[in-house]
Amino acid sequence: MANGKRLKTAYQAINRESFYKVDEAVKLIKQSAVAKFDETIEIAINLGIDPRHADQMVRGVVDLPSGTGKKVRVAVFAKGDKAAEAQKAGADLVGADDLAEKVNAGQIDFDRCIATPDMMGLVGKLGKVLGPRGLMPNPKLGTVTPNVVEAIKAAKGGQVQFRAEKAGLVHAGIGKASFTHDALVANVKAFVDAINKAKPSGAKGTYLKKVSLSSTMGPGLKLDVASLSQAGG
């Protein structure tokens, strides 16, 4: 009941049919995030693509300038010196065959998976487990790399992976309600900019169709796409 009342009050402060510029939207979203925990601020973007076609797939990574506010657990497939480097860099799980056994057994208590190139023979066999969870290491995303230290730093420092789903929808957490207004605005702009840069060759017509912003328990707001597409948003 309390949640329902809060949401009703939050909805009264906004016009769900309006399109808001990012500054105003962030201000309203922060005001409506009144849950007893630090709500995640989420962005959802509808793209004019059909990701079933290879030339219309949108996938990539973006380093959010203000971070995500989320503690990211990182697993690294590596051996020898690279395993030692990964442990020193703060990886939560490091291993080879032993880590593969855990993954196969469904013990997946990590948010990002990194592998050195020589481990991909082993990791490739875990595709059916890691793939559907979006955890399969990929050279294009910087998660298959000999430079495990940099990859771990990026994962823990606010790097977000994105991938268009079946209906052309991309969504991600881009911060917390406790972030400053400017920090959230910077993250929104960085994320939308990364999506624009990832526009595939096969995309025709309007690429950014709808963009909305919400908090975990709060109402969703539609953003003015034109203002987001302009430099400085």
Contact 47, 57 (CB under 8 A): no
pLDDT surpassing 50 at residue 231: no
Closest by CA to 118, choosing from 149, 80, 78, is: 78
- State which amino acid sits at residue 178: S
pLDDT of residue 167: 87
Instruction: Please state, as a whole number, how many other Cβ atoms lie within 10 Å of the Cβ of residue 189.
Output: 18
Domain ranges, ordered by start, for the chain: 16-68+159-229, 74-156
pLDDT at residue 145, rounded to an integer: 96
> Alpha-carbon distance 110 to 85, whole Å?
18
Q: Identify the band that residue 5 occupies on the pLDDT scale cut at 50, 70 and 90.
A: low
Q: What Å distances lie between residue 213 and 82, 98, 140, 171, 224, CA to CA? A: 40, 41, 27, 10, 11
Whole-model pTM: value is 0.79
Q: What is the mean pLDDT of residues 158-175?
A: 90
Give the per-residue pLDDT at 8: 65
Residue 128 has pLDDT above 60, yes or no: yes
* CATH class belonging to 16-68+159-229: alpha beta
> What CATH number should be reported for the domain whose range is 74-156?
3.40.50.790
Instruction: Name the least confident of 109-113, 185-189, 196-200, 201-205.
Output: 201-205
More confident residue, 233 or 44: 44
80: CB partners within 8 A, 6+ apart: none
The answer to whether residues 173 and 26 touch, using CB atoms and an 8 Å cutoff, is: no
| pLDDT tens-place string over residues 201-222 | 888 889 999 999 999 888 889 9
Q: Is the pLDDT of residue 174 over 50?
A: yes
**Interatomic CA distance for residues 186 and 15, integer angstroms:** 24
pLDDT band, residue 45 (cuts 50/70/90): very high
User: Taking the alpha carbons of 76, 77, 82, 83 in that order, is the dihedral positive or negative?
Assistant: positive
Query: Running DSSP on this structure, what letter comes out for residue 93?
Result: E
